[in-house]
Chains A and B, each alone.
Chain A
C-alpha cells in the first residue's frame, strides 16, 4: 500500500510561485488499478514523479507498506518495488533494447522472456532486441519499449505516465488489453495517467487531479457518469474552476 500524506511540491526557481501540487493525500491499495486524469498542467505527472522520487516533496510524507520512503532516492525506491514509465522516455545511443530490458528485469530474464515482453507490447523481437534506443526509433516504438521495461519488473507499484501518447489507434486496443492482463495477473498497485476513455474503463478507481489538487479516488462508474453527463457533472462536482476545466477538456477530446 502506498500512502501520500499532505504532500506538497513547489519547484525551485525564481522567487515564490504557487505549488504545482498542494497538500496531496492519497491511499493506493495493492491489487487495484487507478487512473489519474485531469487537464494538462494540473499536476498529474508531478504526482507520478513525486511517487518515483524524481521530484522531492517540499513537505509531507510518502509511505510504502509502512516504510517512510520520503527521503529515499529514485534507485532506492526502485529497489523497493516502485516503477515509473516515462511520458517522454529518453533515447540512449549505443544501448540496445535487449540490454535495457535485462537491466530492468535482472538476470532472471532470458531470451524467451525478452521476446515475450516485446510481443506483449506489439514489437517483433527479431527486429528490436539488438536495436539501439536512439533517434532511429519513432516516438511510438520508444513508448512501447518503455512499457516493456516496466512489464519486465516485479513491482509493488507501477506508474505509467500517459502510456497512450504517440501510440496509434490500432495498437491502442492492444495497449488497453495489456494493462487489463497486468491487472488480472499481478497484485501490484497500478497507476495510469490517461485521458482516454478506454483506459478509464479499466480503472477500479479514478483520481481527478486539477489545478494542483488531488481528489480522493472515486469509483469508475461514479466518475464516468459524471464526465459523460455535463449537466450531472455541474450539479454533483465541486465547482472549483479546475474540475470544471477538466470536464470541459475531457468532453472535447
Chain B
C-alpha cells in the first residue's frame, strides 16, 4: 500500500473501483488534481497529455484479458478538477477499463470533477467500461462526466454507468457513434436522495449498416430529488436500437424521461420504452408476507432494481 493513500482515499477507491490498494496492472490514480500513481504495461501505454490535464491510454492491437484502472479521488474541499482522457482500444483486443470518481468533501465549498473521456474502439475490438460515482461528507459534491465513444466496424462496447450515493449534482453526457456491424450496450444505474439533482443525456448515432444499440436505464429518486433523462436514437442505416428506461419515484421526487427517436433510413428499427412509477403495493406485500418489514421489503426491491 502506498503511503500516499490514507484511510479516506482507500474507502473512496473501494467504493468506485473495488480496489483496496494500488493495482498491479495498468493504472493511473488521480488525487486532488494530480496523478499520484501511474503504471504502463507491455500492451497498455499510459502517458500524460502535453497540452491539458489528462492522459492518453493506448492499448495495443490484440491485447486480451487485460484491464486499466483510472480512478479519481477528491478529498480536498473546494477543488474543481477538470480532466481529459483519451483511450484507443486496438484492433481485436478485449479489455476492461474501470474509471470512476469518489469525492469526500468535509468543507463548506463545492467539490467538483468534470471528466471528459473519449474512446476509440478499433475494428473487431471489445471494450467493457465501468464508471462508478460516489460522494460523502458535508460539502456539496458535483460530477459532470462526458463520455464519447466511437465504435468502429464489427467492434463492440459495454458501458456500465453507476451513481448510487452521495452526488449532489450531476450532468452526464454520453455520445456514441456506431460504424458497420458495431454494437453498444449501455447499463445506467442512478439513485438520488435529499435535494440531489441529476441529468443524463445519452445520444446514439447508428451510422453503420447492421449496427445495434441497447440502453437499459434504471433509476430511483427519493425524497425531493430530481432526475431528467434524455435519450436520443438516430438510425441512419439498416440498424436496431432499443432503449428501456425504468424509474421508481418515491416521496416528493420528480423524474422525467424524454425520448427522441429518429429514423433516417427505411430499415432502421428503433424502440423506446419508458416506465415511471412507485413501488407496486403487491411487491411490498409479497415480501412482507415472507416476514420482511415494510422498510426491509422496500430496501430489497430497490437493491434488486439497481443491481
Our verdict on whether A and B bind, yes or no, reads: yes
Cβ-closest chain A residue relative to B303: A94
Shortest CB–CB separation between residue A49 and chain B, in angstroms? 9
Q: Which residues of A contact B305 (CB under 8 A)?
A: 92-95
> A86: which of B218, B286, B294, B304 is its contact (CB, 8 Å)?
B286
Which A residues are in CB contact (< 8 Å) with B291?
75, 78-79
Most chain A beta-carbon contacts within 10 A, residue among B246, B289, B301, B306: B289
Q: What mask results when residues 249 to 263 of chain B are scored 1 for a CB within 8 Å of chain A, else 0?
A: 000000000000000
B246 nearest in chain A by CB position? A93
Contact assessment for B301 and A75 in the assembled complex, using a CB-CB cutoff below 8 Å: no
Stretch at the interface among B36-44, B146-154, B277-285: B277-285
Mostly helix, strand, loop or mixed at chain B's interface? helix
Is A237's CB within 8 Å of the partner chain B? no
The 0/1 profile, CB within 8 Å of B marked 1, for residues 75-92 of chain A is 100110001101011101
Interface residues on A, range: 20 to 34
Partner of A94, one of B290, B297, B307: B307
Residues of B within 8 A of A79 (CB): 291
B287, B291, B294, B307 — most chain A CB neighbours (10 Å): B291
The one of A83, A86, A93, A96 that contacts B282, using a Cβ cutoff of 8 Å: A86
Chain A, 25-44, CB within 8 A of any chain B CB = none
Q: Would you give the shortest CB distance from B155 to chain A, in whole angstroms? A: 28
Mark interface residues in A114-155 (1 if CB within 8 Å of B CB, else 0). 000000000000000000100000000000000001000100
Number of A-B pairs, beta carbon distance below 8 Å: 60
Please tell me if the beta carbons of A78 and B290 are within 8 angstroms of each other in the complex: yes
| A35 → B minimal CB distance (Å) | 21
19 contacts between A and B (CB under 8 A): A52-B289, A54-B285, A74-B285, A75-B297, A78-B290, A78-B291, A86-B286, A86-B289, A88-B282, A90-B280, A90-B282, A92-B304, A93-B218, A94-B218, A94-B306, A94-B307, A96-B304, A99-B304, A103-B292
Q: Which residue of B lies closest to A101 (CB)?
A: B290
For residue B64, CB closer than 8 A to chain A, the reply is no
* Interchain CA distance A149-B307 in the complex, whole Å: 21
CA distance A89 to B287 in the complex (A): 11
Q: What is the distance, in angstroms, from B217's C-beta to the closest C-beta of chain A?
A: 12
Interface digits, B14-57 against A, CB 8 Å rule (1 contact, 0 not)?
A: 00000000000000000000000000000000000000000000
Say whether B288 faces chain A, with CB atoms less than 8 Å apart.
Answer: yes
Question: Does B293 reach chain A (CB closer than 8 Å)?
Answer: yes
- Given A75-B292, A95-B300, do A103 and B306 touch, yes or no (CB 8 Å)? no
Known: A75-B293, A75-B294, A78-B291. A90 touches B304 (CB 8 A): no
CA distance A89 to B283 in the complex (A): 8
How far is the CB of B294 from the nearest CB of chain A, in Å? Answer: 7
Chain B neighbourhood of A153, CB < 8 A: 290
CB distance from A103 to the nearest CB of B (A): 5
A88 to B305, CA, bound (A): 20
Docked Cα-Cα span, A83 to B288, in Å, equals 10
With a cutoff of 8 Å between Cβ atoms, the chain A residues found around residue B293 in the complex are 75
Q: Does A104 contact B (CB under 8 A)?
A: yes
CA of A173 to CA of B180, assembled, Å: 52
| Residues in A whose Cβ lies below 8 Å from that of B218 | 93-94
Chain A contacts for B288, CB-based, 8 A: 73-75, 78
Report the separation of the CA atoms of residues A74 and B292 in the bound assembly, to the nearest whole angstrom.
9
The residue in A79, A89, A90, A153 that gathers the most chain B C-beta atoms within 10 A of its C-beta is A90
Min CB distance A2 to B, Å, is 15
